[in-house]
Amino acid sequence: MMSKTTLASASALLALLAGCTIVEVGPDYESPEFDIPETAMPDAGLPTTNRTDIGEFKPAEGDEDVRAVMTPEDMDCWWESFDDPVLTGLVEMAVTNSVSYRMARERLAASYWELAGAVSPFLPSVSGNGAFSRSENGKYTSSGAGRSRHGDSYSLGLGMSWDLDLFGGNMRSLEYYLASAQSTAYDTEDAWVTLTAEVASQYISLRTTQQRIEVARTNLVLQTETYDILKSRFDSGIGDELAVNQSKYTVDQTHASIPQLLAQEESLKNALAILVGLMPGALHEQLAECPARDWLIEPSRLDGTPVNLIRRRPDVRAAERDLAAQTARIGVAKAQWFPQLSITGTLGLESSKGKHLLERGALYGSLGPSVNWPIFQGGKIYSSVKAEECRTREACLSYELAIQNAYSEVRDAYAAYTQEQHRCEALKSAVKAAQDAVAIANDLYKNGLRDFTAVIDAQRSLLTLSESLVISRGDITQDLITLCRALGGGIGQNGPEASSDGDASGQAESI
């Protein structure tokens, strides 16, 4: 694939050719400026042990807020902050072997070749031709004059044409292809950002699902132990049949939740395999065991409005380059109003005898200018110009919308990231209370002070809250991934230009 130096070379050529035109038709492109409000992000703050009157966690203020500030440098290769070699290996495999990302790189290569082809109108075009013909005329034909005649014709020649871009139509066309190639390059970067975020998101979803399975199985062991005790007592004639049945359906209910989680685990493993360019099932052995670790990292905060991070998002930059490309098309359309001056020429050899074809007497040639000026086209050119102007205004609105959506995505992701931390703190407290409730309910039931319904309710609450806590911890990490993606993170030193084709299966073995 061509390097991005191709874009720099094309820009230099464009600047050189700009001085070779008499009139530059169409508007010169100027990037519009859209104000991003200087309002603070919706930060819930680091939760503290302090509570409000209704029990909500108060956010840390002043010296209590010890979170590090998230910087643009932190966005580069952000997945490495999880310190998980498996995740890092999956990301490296994905950006090398992912089919969807390789498709994006092929689109980029195609746009570079289209850009290279856009230079051709500035150069003379030369074509060669050769022909041999034999004519026969019978004596009764008008050319025969009473007797049969025949003749041969041999010819070799060159044709040349050079369009002089006096009014800048070709230059505007080159501007269009250059901006389009730049837009495609940013689309490729956006595909990189999306891919890295998707791999990390699916990986965290997998580990969260595996932890939920572990929670269900742990609770299943406790519930089964309770059921076995109750069943044994009932078989001995000292138990409660109602309590046995209540315990039994609690065990079965927990059993019923596990197959769904196992199916979800299978689906996530297959999705990860496809993301890294492998067939489903290829990563099962490597991803089978969930390591006994936590993927939560120290909370970070944004310092004010991350304007620079939003503006550097590849999709926002691509929208701006699309606007530049569409602006150039106005000039391409307007150039059709003006005369097109060309220099054409021919040089060749022609003879009726093959043996004389290469002699001086067979030489012919011509050279001279020609002008083509559309006088009346029935409003076709005017309509084309107006249509391109409408498309340019649409592209400008699309660029503005891209900035609005980017800003919204950052605010949404940051709010979810910080607020989920408050939710997680509340769930931690709830799980501790549920664990105590299970122990108390068991003691009360054994001493005959409560029926078994209290035990059942306590066990169910513990299972529900434990699972909710696992999900919440996973959601915090997922929200952080979404925030990094919304800020355009993931380009850095190992960005799209550094990726190259490789052997996915070999890398899979190294995870």
DSSP for 88-127 reads: HHHHHHHHHH-HHHHHHHHHHHHHHHHHHHTTGGGS-EEE
For residue 57, what is the enclosing H or E element?
A: strand 57-59
Extract the tokens encoding 290: 């969930």
Q: What is the pLDDT of residues 379-388, one digit of tens each?
A: 888 999 999 9
- Cβ–Cβ under 8 Å, residues 336 and 169: yes
Burial of 216 (0-12, 13-18, 19+ CB in 10 A): buried
φ, ψ of residue 54 in degrees (nearest 5): -100, 10
- Cβ–Cβ under 8 Å, residues 480 and 67: no
Residue 34 lies in a domain: no
Number of domains in the chain: 1
Question: Where is pLDDT greater, at 65 or 101?
Answer: 101
Burial of 285 (0-12, 13-18, 19+ CB in 10 A): exposed
Task: Indicate if the pLDDT at residue 194 is higher than 90.
Answer: yes
CA distance 191 to 499: 13
What pLDDT does 203 receive? 96
- Three-state SS string over 462-481 comes to HHHHHHHHHHHHHHHHHHHH
φ, ψ of residue 501 in degrees (nearest 5): -65, 145
pLDDT, the chain, mean:
85
Task: Indicate if the pLDDT at residue 4 is higher than 80.
Answer: no
User: Which of 356, 340, 324, 202 has its CA nearest to residue 265?
Assistant: 202
Residue 234 lies in a domain: yes
Residue showing tokens 């110009």: 385
User: Which of 398, 318, 307 has its CA nearest to residue 36?
Assistant: 307
Residue 120 lies in a domain: no
Q: Highest mean pLDDT range out of 58-62, 64-68, 71-75, 135-139?
A: 64-68
Residue 69 bridge partners (DSSP): 301
Residue 119 lies in a domain: no
* pTM of model > 0.85: no
Question: Considering the chain, what percentage of its residues have pLDDT values greater than 90?
Answer: 43
Residue 153 lies in a domain: no
**Is the CA virtual torsion 76, 79, 80, 86 positive or negative?**
negative
Residue 11 lies in a domain: no
Residue type, 162: W
In whole angstroms, how far apart are CA 160 and each of 46, 53, 239, 347, 365? 73, 87, 105, 9, 11
Strands (E), 283-375: 300-301, 340-351, 363-372
**Structural domain boundaries enclosing 181:** 63-97+166-295+311-337+379-511
Residue 302 lies in a domain: no
Extract the tokens encoding 59: 């956010």
CB neighbours of 332 closer than 8 A, spacing ≥ 6? Answer: 26, 169, 172, 173, 176, 388
Task: Indicate if the pLDDT at residue 476 is higher than 60.
Answer: yes
Assign residue 270 the CATH number of its domain: 1.20.1600.10
- Cβ–Cβ under 8 Å, residues 490 and 78: yes
Q: What is the pLDDT of residues 12-50, one digit of tens each?
A: 656 555 555 556 788 999 989 887 777 778 888 888 777
CA distance 501 to 505: 12
Average pLDDT over residues 234-244: 85
Q: What is the number of helices (H) and of strands (E) in the chain?
A: 12, 8
Extract the tokens encoding 447: 């001493």
Residue 157 lies in a domain: no
Question: Where is pLDDT greater, at 331 or 489?
Answer: 331
CA distance 26 to 44: 50
